Amino acid sequence: MEAVIFSLSFTAAAFLIFLAFKHFDKRLTISFGLLFAAYLGLDDLVTGLPSGSSAFSLIGGEWNWSGKIYSLLLSLVVVLGLGIKPKSLGLTLSQRNLKASLIALFLFILWGFSLGLLFKPSVPSVETLAFQASMPGIVEELVYRGIAPALLLGLIRGKEPSQGIPWAVVLITAVAFGIWHGLGYSDATFSFDPMSALFPFIGSIAGGWLRFHSGSLLFPILAHSFANVAFHLTALIGLR
């Protein structure tokens, strides 16, 4: 029940975030804002299924592999059901501004490394490195830098994106991503960790810019994955 309450609360928060930025882009409509918020809430719910019941845990281990797989399946259903084109999601290997994307990738790795030195994670297992190199980058970028922006911009039934960076959309998805990481609910009490929200929010601003500047999800996925791995690899510094 707590998972449902959290997901509904996050849905409401996502819609309020949408309303706060709606007037900065005339393409944003209430109907698509509701669809965006409902999708993010449902994504949170399916991602958390293994935490609520072991019956939903298809893959064992330290990390939530099963929840990320459920998120991917939901994404597939939404994309096919709404007729969202791959180009509207950034699912293309064709790149614009390749030099800028490579520089951004390097800065993301440096960012992850710096956060690792700051927060000092524990020594990672092989599973931790495998998970961080794959699941968060692929799944979360598809949700927050692919599908969510497409829904906000109404890119369904074959509609294609226009050129340029939709900054209102970048900000909406970045704030939502930060809140998703910082918000908590347990024992009928909400909590919020500003630090857990701040760094994903900052990374999302850069990731959102990179997605639209490059015209593709490829570099946001690589940047997210490499930064996560760099964060955990800092624990190996100083080991003999």
The mean pLDDT value for 205-213 works out to 98
pLDDT: which is higher, 96 or 54? 96
Q: Which residue has the tokens 């949170």?
A: 44
Cβ pair 217, 140 in contact under 8 A = no
* pLDDT tens-place string over residues 66-109: 999 999 999 999 999 999 999 999 999 999 999 999 999 999 99
pLDDT greater than 90 at residue 1: no
Are residues 72 and 139 in contact, defined by beta-carbon separation less than 8 angstroms? Answer: yes
Check if the beta carbon of residue 88 is closer than 8 Å to that of residue 155. yes
Residue 240 has pLDDT above 50, yes or no: no
pTM of the model: 0.95
- pLDDT tens digits, residue range 151-198? 999 999 999 888 899 999 999 999 999 999 999 998 889 999 999 999
The answer to whether 146 and 215 are in contact (CB under 8 A) is: no
Inter-residue contact 33 to 15 (CB < 8 Å): yes
Q: How far apart are CA 19 and CA 14, in angstroms?
A: 9
Compute CA distances 114 → 14, 41, 105, 132, 154, whole Å: 29, 31, 14, 16, 37
Instruction: Output the six-digit token pair for 28.
Output: 């944003």
- Give the separation between CA 93 and CA 185, rounded to whole angstroms: 39
Which residue range is the domain that position 27 belongs to? 2-236
Q: Give the total number of structural domains in the chain.
A: 1
Q: Region of 209 please: left (phi>0), alpha (psi -120 to 50) or beta.
A: alpha
- 126 phi, psi to nearest 5 deg: -60, -40
Kindly state the average pLDDT of the residues 22-31: 96
What is residue 90's DSSP assignment?
A: T
Provide the pLDDT for residue 238. 63
